[in-house]
């Protein structure tokens, strides 16, 4: 069980536990844990002066930065509920999330990626570039006196790639417990220097990033937008040791000419259904990482499975690891992954119907993902229920087909969808990104290669090459965009 009942209690304790140790580096700004906690208390004072009371929701629509950290934990310290908003959302999408969340205020960073941050809503819009976060006296009320571990800490909306986003509610206690385990298995240590590419509006960035760093005393180095040259520069200049990210991050690092600039890197964490074994081997052989973890999780449950220290490249690439402690994972008759345990969300905000559809009477969360278990009990994700397509009566799972395709040395990225076919009902279409050394690779070559390695119904009937796949801010392929290409 966690040592603290609430996130603000844990964050406040970091001032005593880590004191003058560097907590955050953001450009020229460098703050110790004691200084960061003081700024968080001042931000909490500003939220209280604004009228934020216990349980009130406050939206944060801004890129990774020190101010994001101060604002987010200031909201929680004031007793508020954090509502992170996807920075890739356009104004209309963001307004929908903010409106449905019932947020009492919205914090933004004007000018990021040329985004229009004006919302046609009757709520205060506060620019993080103003003096709002530091204009009030520190909020001194001890969290343990009036906040409880069962109180909702945050409402994180789903990515919206398969429908209207829904707000998953998580409480303080379950977050602290889950990411204590994550920090242990990821080998996050006191004094680590953690380069934060994963966006803070996402569960991974907020919890496996910020919460875990406060738990362990790791220095947080936020990155607002990914650029490989800037990442390499920061790794070298700030002696970065911890660098989680999607598989595309590690592809980029493998192209770096002077890998000596990456020498301080020790721990990596990635996760996706389409990690080639060869990529894992190359990460271990060509990059300085000593540990590499993967896992499976979702907004509605945080961590579900994680790999374990010493796992083979095959296990890291082809499985999502073993269930987390006190988390049950089962496979339904139709192949859907079911999850039950302390980590499952408290429900969708103001949506009892969607909550009842997601969590059954026995407490099982229906994830919408399809999976299998290995003989060792490791979970393998084979696709999404909504992505599955039927070829002449056979179920075809895009994630499985993508995994086969990524074993081709000329394919760097792959995404497969089902498209209509008069004879078979549906067949697969592959969208591929060629590797740098295989720019002449043809569709016929890919299809012939696939026929020798897959059952006939799995083989894509057509191939389209792209310069890049459409990804959302968390590195997931937006397959609805690929479907739009067909219309």
pLDDT, one tens digit per residue, over 243-280 is: 999 887 898 999 999 999 999 999 999 986 567 788 89
Q: How far apart are CA 102 and CA 172, in angstroms?
A: 20
Please, what is the angle between helix 33-50 and helix 66-77, to 10°?
A: 60
The lowest-confidence range among 123-137, 294-308, 398-412 is 398-412
Q: Is position 25 within any domain?
A: yes
Instruction: Measure the CA–CA gap between 205 and 18, rounded to whole angstroms.
Output: 21
Nearest residue to 394 via CA among 430, 421, 432 = 421
CA dihedral 312, 317, 318, 319 (to 10 degrees): 80
- Strand-pairing partners, residue 154, are 82, 170
pLDDT above 90 (res 117): no
Q: Encoding tokens for residue 280? A: 């894992």
What's the average model confidence in pLDDT over 141-146? 95
Nearest of 317, 326, 261 to residue 287 by alpha carbon: 261
Residue the block writes with tokens 């890739």: 88
Tokens 């954090």 appear where?
82
In a domain, 329, yes or no: no
Whether residue 17 is contained in a domain is answered as yes
Residue 3 lies in a domain: yes
Percent of the chain with pLDDT over 90: 76
Query: Is residue 133 situated within a structural domain?
Result: yes
Q: How far is 236 from 218, CA to CA, in rounded Å?
A: 17
- What span, in angstroms and rounded, lies between the C-alpha atoms of 191 and 66? 18
In the three-class reduction of DSSP (H, G, I as helix; E, B as strand; rest coil), residue 341 is classed as strand
Does pLDDT of 410 surpass 60?
Answer: yes
Pairing of strands 57-61, 81-84: parallel
Beta strands in 360-421 (DSSP E): 365-373, 379-384, 389-391, 394-396, 411-421
Please choose, from the candidates 166, 96, 150, the residue with its C-alpha nearest in 3D space to the C-alpha of residue 356.
166
Contact 370, 397 (CB under 8 A): yes
Q: Assign residue 395 the CATH number of its domain.
A: 3.30.300.30
CA distance 440 to 462: 17
Whether residue 116 has pLDDT greater than 90: no
Among residues 228, 232, 198, the alpha carbon closest in space to that of 476 is found at 198
* 487 pLDDT more than 70: no
What does the pLDDT look like over 278-301, one tens digit per residue?
889 999 999 999 999 999 999 999
In whole angstroms, what is the distance from residue 303 CA to residue 327 CA? Answer: 9
Q: Are strands 295-298 and 291-293 parallel, antiparallel or unpaired?
A: unpaired
Assess if residue 256 is contained within a domain.
Answer: no
Question: Which two structure tokens, joined as six digits, stand for 84?
Answer: 């992170």
The pLDDT value recorded for residue 2 is: 67
270 assigned to some structural domain: no
Reported pTM: 0.86
The per-residue pLDDT for 136 is 97
Nearest-angstrom CA–CA distance, 19 and 34: 5
d(CA 479, CA 417): 7
Domain that holds residue 203: 1-171+181-222
In a domain, 72, yes or no: yes
CATH number of the domain encompassing residue 72: 3.40.50.980
Q: What is the pLDDT averaged over residues 395-417? A: 90
Residue for token pair 């389209």: 464
Task: Specify the pLDDT at position 70.
Answer: 98
**Cα distances (Å, whole numbers) of residue 458 to 124, 393, 397, 412:** 52, 12, 8, 19
The residues that bridge with 246 in the sheet, in sequence order, are none
pLDDT for position 478: 85
- Lookup: tokens for 8: 């603000």
pLDDT score at 371: 93
Number of domains in the chain: 2
Compute CA distances 414 → 225, 286, 313, 460, whole Å: 23, 23, 20, 11
pLDDT of 160 over the 80 cut: no
Q: What angle do CA 70, 71, 74 make, to 5 degrees?
A: 80
Contact 411, 405 (CB under 8 A): yes
Question: How confident is the model over 222-231, as a mean pLDDT?
Answer: 94
* Cα–Cα distance for residue pair 266/282, rounded to 1 Å: 15
What Cα–Cα distance (Å) separates residue 206 from each residue in 60, 103, 176, 213, 245?
12, 19, 12, 10, 13
> What would the pLDDT profile of 55-100 be if each residue is shown by its tens digit?
999 999 999 999 999 999 999 999 999 999 988 787 888 889 999 9
Mean pLDDT for the stretch of residues 316-333: 96
Last residue of a domain, one of 163, 193, 222: 222
Q: State yes or no: pLDDT of 120 exceeds 90.
A: no
Fill in the DSSP letter of residue 208.
I
Which residues have a Cβ under 8 Å from the Cβ of 308 and sit 6 or more positions away? 185, 321, 322
């Amino acid at each position: 069980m966690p040592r603290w009942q609430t996130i603000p209690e844990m964050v406040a304790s970091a001032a005593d536990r880590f004191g003058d140790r560097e907590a955050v580096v953001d450009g020229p700004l460098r703050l110790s844990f004691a200084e960061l906690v003081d700024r968080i208390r001042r931000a909490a004072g500003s939220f209280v002066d604004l009228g934020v009371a216990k349980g009130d929701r406050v939206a944060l629509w801004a890129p990774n930065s020190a101010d994001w950290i101060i604002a987010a934990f200031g909201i929680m310290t004031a007793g508020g509920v954090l509502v992170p908003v996807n920075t890739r959302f356009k104004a209309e999408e963001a307004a929908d999330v903010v409106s449905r969340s019932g947020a009492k205020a919205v914090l933004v960073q004007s000018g990021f990626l040329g985004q229009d941050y004006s919302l046609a809503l009757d709520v205060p819009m506060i620019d993080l570039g103003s003096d709002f976060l530091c204009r009030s006296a520190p909020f001194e009320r001890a969290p343990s006196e009036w906040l409880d571990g069962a109180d909702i800490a945050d409402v994180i909306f789903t990515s919206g790639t398969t429908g209207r986003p829904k707000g998953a509610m998580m409480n303080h206690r379950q977050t602290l417990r889950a990411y204590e385990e994550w920090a242990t298995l990821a080998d996050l240590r006191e004094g680590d220097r953690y380069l934060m590419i994963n966006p803070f509006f996402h569960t991974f960035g907020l919890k496996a990033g910020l919460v875990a760093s406060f738990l362990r005393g790791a220095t947080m180095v936020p990155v607002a937008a990914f650029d490989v040259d800037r990442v390499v520069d920061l790794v070298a200049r700030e002696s970065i040791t911890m660098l989680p990210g999607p598989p595309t991050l590690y592809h980029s690092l493998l192209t770096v000419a002077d890998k000596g600039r990456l020498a301080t890197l020790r721990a990596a964490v990635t996760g996706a259904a389409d990690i080639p074994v060869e990529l894992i081997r190359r990460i271990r052989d060509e990059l300085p990482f000593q540990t590499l973890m993967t896992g499976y999780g979702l907004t509605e449950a945080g961590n579900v499975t994680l790999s374990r220290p010493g796992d083979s490249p095959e296990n890291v690439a082809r499985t999502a690891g073993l269930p987390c402690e006190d988390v049950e994972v089962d496979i339904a008759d139709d192949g859907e992954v079911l999850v039950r345990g302390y980590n499952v969300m408290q429900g969708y905000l103001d949506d009892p119907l969607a909550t009842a559809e997601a969590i059954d009477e026995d407490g099982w969360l229906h994830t919408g993902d399809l999976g299998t278990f290995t003989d060792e009990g490791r979970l393998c994700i084979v696709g999404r229920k909504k992505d599955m397509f039927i070829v002449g009566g056979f179920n075809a799972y895009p994630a499985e087909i993508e995994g086969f395709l990524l074993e081709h040395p000329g394919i760097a990225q792959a995404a497969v969808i089902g498209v209509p076919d008069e004879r078979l009902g549906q067949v697969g279409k592959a969208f591929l990104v060629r590797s740098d050394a295989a720019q002449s690779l043809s569709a016929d070559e890919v299809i012939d290669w696939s026929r020798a390695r897959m059952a006939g119904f799995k083989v894509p009937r057509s191939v389209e090459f792209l310069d890049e796949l459409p990804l959302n801010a968390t590195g997931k392929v937006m397959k609805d965009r690929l479907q739009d290409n067909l219309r």
